[in-house]
Amino acid sequence: MEVVALVSGGKDSCFSMMRCLDYGHKVVALANLIPLDDAVDELDSYMYQTVGHQIVVCYAKCMGLPLFRRRISGSTRDHALKYSVTAGDEVEDMFALLSEVKRRIPSIGAVSSGAIASDYQRLRVESVCSRLGLVSLAYMWRQDQTLLLEEMIRRGIVAITVKVAAMGLKPSVHLGKELAELKSHLLQMNESFGINVCGEGGEYETLTLDCPLFRNARIVLDDFEVILHSADSIASVGILHPLAFHVEPKPGSSSSIGDGAIAEENSSCLYEVNGAIAHTDGETKQTLNPTPTSDAYPDTNVCISKTGKTLFSIGCWIEEPSSASQGMKADLVKVLSRIENQLKDGGLSWANVLYVHLYISSMKEFGLANEVYVSFITEKKCHLGVPSRSTIELPLVQAGLGNAYVEVLVSNDLVKRVLHVQSISCWAPSCIGPYSQATLYGEILYMAGQLGLDPPTMKLCLGGATAQLDLALRNSEAVANAFKSSIFSSAIHFLVYCSAHLTSTEKEAVEQKLQNSYIAHLDSARSGSYPTILYVLAPDLPKGACVEIKPTLYVPTDGYNDNDDDGDITREPEAGGSKPSSSKVPSEWSAQYSGLHDSCCLANTVAGKICSAVVSVTNDIASKICPSTEHLHPSKEHLKAIARFCAFQLAKTLTDNSFTWDDVTMLRFYYSVERAVAADVVSRAFSEAFAELGAADGSLRIDGAPVFNLIPVSGSGRSASMDDVVTCELLASKA
């Protein structure tokens, strides 16, 4: 992509440009914001007026690029971490600046910034990029600062300190020093006082005098003075004020370089961006994009399910023959409209949605599905952050369920923490659009589906299924670390989607890779238990991936130990509290099914507050439930027996672990379409089984809508063979 780089004159913006070149992008312009003379931070304002205002112009000549700059007219009016468009805010000056760049250079596709750890800075750049249809590139985001500093020095960035404001940094000693000279001292101060070695906490600011990007010239500082702003005995604050500098041509340069900043001010490569802030046509279209309604697609049997109370799941699908479907767009509009109305009926909105499972009939229509999705779920509607999401292809048409099936996890209260990084970085795959990497609600972290994508290029890695799984695990760990957690010590449940394109050998290799790279490294001594693991075979995955993983993690808050910053977690059983009354099941169920529980059910309880369970009905189990060969092509009666068996095992799991049906937040039954059983037949079998269970157990309230979601798949199971007749997946959480 062609890139415009936001520059301030320091090391970070220069190194960010170098990273852009590393990943095949082309920096074609620079953009700079000049603070007001009466800026709130008088010291920073003075620095920019004396250093950035003049020297940044020299960068354009040194690099042979046009420079766009604008004097900030606004102030900080929106103080929230997540930015909302606010008239008079200084972010709108960035919007005006980049709008002009895009107008003059329409081929611009991305914006580079030097964000390393500041969510505040990153989110504002991402907001502007989103409004302008640009991609944010932040290749230093969440990178180890010590390694960054070393790489900057090694790769030839010559930068000096022009401001110091931290314990251990003295204006009289450390101002004007090059990074290479200060490196050992900065590392020592990091160990002694915990300062950020790249200055991310404002400990110091730099001015870049030379770097590999400066192909035409370098900047030479001829004279300067040190100004002591604060003579604090612990952490003095001072700045370096350049009194004279010049631009020195590099050997072999053919460009004409002026004699200094005054000559540069008149350069034809400088564009002053002045005037009022105007919204672009693209932004207006994005803002005014209407939400489609289901009125245009009548006469459809749209079905809904609901599981749970305070935290609950809503599933929605279309039950009709494939010949009656009006296509992907129509079906998804109807499904999302129904969910939206269901939310409104409960006094809720999309802002209450934590997670979305988007199931579509063909991955070839992923783009179309996304267009419909973003017309319903937007950042404007989700002020606390957009839901996390997983998208896979399922054999919906084959099962008679239309072209779209959506399941959402909803909370009655608006208390969640969302991680939504839209910038492309080296940290983890970006989420450019209204879906986030992870959502934390209560003590459960719901992570978006992760592919084996190389974060800086957003391309699937080479090496097939096992290589993709390995990278997906690393990507998941990076996201978990952002919440001071780890997939190796905090996992509750692990869902592994495998593409149906994989051979039997490749599926076995995936399971072995998960064993060697993940399960073998689980910190069971600290976690207390192993996560439940479920494999699901899908016809196709996004980008044609071989594997997609979706971890669910336990992230404790008050009352539980979080001993280390690296995310390792100690799980302790909940103290006190009475055991809930046992679930009641029909007596004949207990007599018939109790002996099979240990062989088919795997459960994981965490801190007495969370329970995940997987019930695997294999062919062997099915033959014991109903001794015949019918399990290969089950009849209605055989399906009913399997449904009763599943309901019994789930009820027993809840009772054994001191949970009730009211605690259940998600319940899915996966069944293979290869067994040639229609969805409505399976649905009736499970509905009747749960009705029987509800009649015996008053805690299970059946109010008409199913309390579960039936998911048609190509295969599922606790192993990568994925040859279960039915697989149950349950998650329960106490308030």
The DSSP line for 160-178 is EEEEEESTT--HHHHTT-B
CA 138, CA 115: separation in Å to the nearest integer?
6
Q: How many whole angstroms separate alpha carbon 323 and alpha carbon 321?
A: 5
Q: How far apart are CA 206 and CA 8, in angstroms?
A: 10
Which backbone phi and psi does 727 adopt, to 5 degrees?
Answer: -125, 130
Neighbours of 563 (CB within 10 A): 9
Amino acid 719: pLDDT = 96
Look at residue 39 in the predicted model and tell me its pLDDT: 46
Please give the helix or strand (H or E) that residue 272 lies within, else none: strand 270-272
Tell me the whole-structure pTM to 2 decimals: 0.89
Strand locations in 500-600 (E): 532-538, 547-554
Phi, psi (degrees; rounded to nearest 5) at 167: -60, 130
Question: What is the tally of helices (H) and strands (E) in the chain?
Answer: 21, 29
**What is the pLDDT, as a whole number, of residue 598?**
78
Specify the pLDDT at position 656. Answer: 92
Whole-Å CA distances, 124 to 82, 135, 262, 381 = 8, 13, 32, 18
Residue 301 forms beta bridges with which residues?
none
Contact call for residues 497 and 449 (beta carbons, < 8 A): yes
Cα(413)–Cα(406) distance, integer angstroms: 21
- Please state, in angstroms and rounded to a whole number, the distance separating the CA atoms of residues 454 and 496: 19
pLDDT of residue 290: 57
Instruction: Of 706, 704, 557, 586, give the one whose Cα is nearest residue 652.
Output: 586
Q: Identify residue 236 by its one-letter amino acid code.
A: S
* Strand order across the beta sheet in which 26-34 lies: 135-137, 108-112, 2-6, 26-34, 67-71, 270-272
Rounded CA-CA distance 116/102 in Å is 25
CB 38 within 8 Å of CB 66: no
Both structure tokens of 625: 């439930």
- Per-block average pLDDT, block size 10, for the chain (735 residues)? 95 97 97 72 49 75 93 90 89 96 97 93 94 96 96 97 93 94 96 93 94 94 89 85 89 59 52 80 48 57 80 90 75 96 95 97 96 94 95 95 95 94 97 92 96 98 97 98 94 97 97 94 69 97 98 78 34 41 70 79 93 95 76 75 93 92 94 84 91 81 81 96 96 89
Tokens of 678: 């229609």
What pLDDT, on the 0 to 100 scale, is given for residue 422?
Answer: 96
pLDDT (0 to 100) of residue 599: 82
List CB contacts of 230: < 8 A, sequence separation 6 or more: 165, 236, 237, 238
Pair of tokens at residue 115: 């964000």
For the beta sheet containing 217-230, the strands, ordered from the edge strand earlier in sequence to the opposite edge, are: 204-210, 158-165, 237-249, 217-230
Say what the pLDDT of residue 433 is: 79
Per-residue confidence (pLDDT) for residue 285, from 0 to 100 = 45
What is the CB neighbour count within 10 angstroms for residue 695?
12
| DSSP single-letter state for residue 52 | I
Q: Are 429 and 346 in contact (CB under 8 A)?
A: no
- Helix axis angle, 11-22 relative to 145-154, nearest 10°? 80
- Angle subtended by helix axes 504-517 and 464-481, to nearest 10: 30
* pLDDT for residue 323: 54
Residue 524 pLDDT:
60
- The residue type at 271: Y
SS3 443: coil
pLDDT at site 222: 92
CB-based contact 480:538 (threshold 8 Å):
no
> Tell me, what's the pLDDT at 701?
72
**Vertex 715 angle, CA 594 and 554, to 5°:** 70
CB distance 396 to 427 below 8 Å: no
So what's the pLDDT on residue 528?
59
- Strand partners of residue 75: 89
What are the residues facing 617 on neighbouring strands?
726
Please give the Cα distance from 57 to 668 (Å, whole number).
Answer: 60
CA 213 vs. chain centroid, Å, equals: 32
Q: Is 419 helix (H, G, I), strand (E, B) or coil?
A: strand
pLDDT score for 700: 78
